[in-house]
Amino acid sequence: MRRFRKPTTIIEGLNPKRTDIEKMARQLKSKLACGGTAKDGYVMLQGDHRDSVKEHLVSAGFIESSIELQ
């Protein structure tokens, strides 16, 4: 039986022409030890990884003020 309503982390607003979304998803899944997917311009990770994802995005060269957490 599948259980729904589990927490997920979704990263949106990435420009697919400037960012390799699949590569970023692989790196995040490996670093955070979770499952996930990359499709249609967003990355979805299983679990609540908002703080860790922000740290990784800043270290990857994204501007901290442009990252919004909800």
Mean pLDDT of 53-69: 86
Domain ranges of the chain: 8-58
Q: Residue 1 above 60 pLDDT?
A: no
> What CATH number does the domain located at 8-58 have?
3.30.780.10
Closest by Cα among 14, 1, 8, 4 to 47: 8
* Max CA separation in the chain (angstroms): 41
Mean pLDDT of 3-17: 84
Give the per-residue pLDDT at 47: 92
For 19-40, how does the pLDDT look when each residue is reduced to its tens digit (9 = 90+)?
888 999 999 999 999 999 998 8
Give the per-residue pLDDT at 3: 63
Q: Residue 2 above 70 pLDDT?
A: no
User: Which residue stretches of the chain are H helix?
Assistant: 21-32, 50-59
